[in-house]
């Protein structure tokens, strides 16, 4: 079974390069020629997850795994983790500092947006493990 894997590193607080990993994810999916809808949903999720690492996480990575029937985004970081996952999934909930809000971030739409666009989302966070997101998109060959 064909499987293609690419790993992109994400540096916390590096706002100059922020968005680069998700751009690479988008370009890779486009180079393969996935359907536009799935490319878009995957890029939105990759971007939101990447920005979460940049803003709140520690050293992190985005691992893209491509199979003919699914695209998986594994987003890991060794930051402090999410205190209350249930609350973080609520639209508008945010722990962003005033500074981030001034930069136009921290609207509390990150995780809700990922949940909305993904076909499956698994969040593990807390303790010394940092945060691990597993975001999956299924390709069924039929319109969603």
Q: Where do contacts with other proteins occur on this chain (CB under 8 A)? A: 1-4, 6, 19, 22-23, 26, 28, 30-37, 39-40, 43-44, 46-47, 66-69, 113, 117, 139, 141
Q: How far is the CB of 134 from other proteins (least distance, A)?
A: 20
Tokens of 18: 């922020």
Tokens of 92: 């508008």
Closer CB to other proteins, residue 16 or residue 86?
16
* 112 neighbors 89 (Cβ within 8 angstroms): yes
Closer CB to other proteins, residue 22 or residue 125?
22
* 121 neighbors 135 (Cβ within 8 angstroms): yes
Residue 131 φ/ψ, nearest 5 degrees: -120, 135
Give the contacts of 112 (CB within 8 A, at least 6 positions apart). Answer: 89, 90, 91
Q: How far is the CB of 2 from other proteins (least distance, A)?
A: 4
Closer CB to other proteins, residue 50 or residue 77?
50
Q: How far is the CB of 89 from other proteins (least distance, A)?
A: 17
Q: How far is the CB of 58 from other proteins (least distance, A)?
A: 23
Sheet holding 4-10, edge to edge: 4-10, 60-66, 70-77, 131-138, 120-125
Closer CB to other proteins, residue 73 or residue 130?
73
């Amino acid at each position: 079974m064909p499987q293609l894997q690419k790993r992109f590193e994400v540096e916390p607080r590096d706002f100059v390069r922020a968005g680069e990993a998700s751009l690479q994810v988008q370009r890779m999916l486009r180079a393969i020629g996935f359907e536009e809808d799935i490319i878009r949903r995957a890029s939105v999720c990759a971007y939101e997850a990447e920005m979460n690492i940049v803003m709140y996480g520690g050293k992190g990575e985005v691992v893209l795994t491509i199979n003919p029937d699914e695209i998986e985004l594994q987003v890991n970081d060794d930051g402090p983790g999410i205190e209350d996952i249930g609350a973080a999934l609520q639209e508008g909930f945010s722990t962003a500092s005033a500074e981030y809000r001034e930069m136009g971030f921290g609207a509390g739409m990150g995780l809700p947006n990922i949940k909305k666009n993904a076909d499956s989302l698994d969040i593990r966070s807390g303790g010394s493990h940092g945060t691990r997101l597993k975001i999956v998109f299924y390709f069924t060959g039929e319109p969603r």
